[in-house]
């Protein structure tokens, strides 16, 4: 039983990790990415649309893995694992929540790394801010999501 659960955990985690990368970067629309952190219903709706499409991407990726490899997972485990992952993703992608967590953990300077608010932000040859994807906020966002992918995989493998 222990070896089987470990194999299911590893297999499910890999599938979720791949699907997360595709769903968070290829499936997410530019509008969702630009709007999901806005205050009010506009931001909440954009974030919800993103998380729905992301969770669907994960389910579509996970389904053939579970069926073709005949993994012993339950519908309950899948619903709880994917549901918790979706909720944690929505929470972080509202942006202010993750920024507050970074602040509380003493990571505010790292969170601002690569942005105009950081004292050592990237600049162009003319000295203007040079936008980059390599931000501390992005790194903390992705590591948060990967943490919850691991928790989701563990729940899927053991429930």
85-136 tens-digit pLDDT? 999 999 999 999 999 999 999 999 888 887 777 777 777 788 777 777 678 8
The confidence score (pLDDT) of residue 2 equals 56
Question: Of 106, 103, 100, 136, whose CA–CA distance to 118 is shortest?
Answer: 136
β-bridge partners, 129: 123
- SS3 call for 124: coil
Whole-Å CA distances, 49 to 5, 52, 109, 123? 32, 5, 30, 34
Neighbours of 100 (CB within 10 A): 12
Q: Report pLDDT for 150.
A: 98
Helices (H) and strands (E) in the chain, counts: 7, 0
71 contacts: CB under 8 Å, gap ≥ 6: 8, 11, 12, 65
What pLDDT was estimated at residue 75?
Answer: 97
pLDDT digits 0-9 by tens, 22-31: 999 999 999 9
Q: How far apart are CA 119 and CA 79, in angstroms?
A: 44
């Amino acid at each position: 039983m222990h070896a089987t659960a470990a194999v299911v955990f590893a297999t499910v985690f890999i599938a979720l990790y791949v699907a997360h990368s595709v769903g968070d970067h290829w499936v997410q629309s530019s509008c969702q990415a630009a709007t999901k952190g806005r205050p009010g219903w506009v931001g909440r709706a954009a974030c919800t649309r993103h998380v729905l499409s992301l969770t669907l991407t994960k389910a579509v990726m996970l389904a053939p893995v579970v069926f073709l490899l005949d993994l012993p997972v339950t519908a309950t485990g899948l619903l709880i694992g994917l549901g918790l992952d979706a909720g944690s993703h929505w929470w972080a992608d509202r942006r202010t929540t993750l920024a507050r967590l970074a602040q509380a953990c003493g990571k505010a300077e790292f969170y601002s790394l690569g942005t105009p608010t950081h004292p050592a932000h990237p600049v162009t040859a003319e000295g203007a801010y040079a936008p980059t994807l390599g931000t501390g906020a992005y790194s903390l966002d992705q590591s948060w999501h990967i943490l919850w992918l691991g928790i989701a995989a563990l729940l899927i493998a053991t429930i």
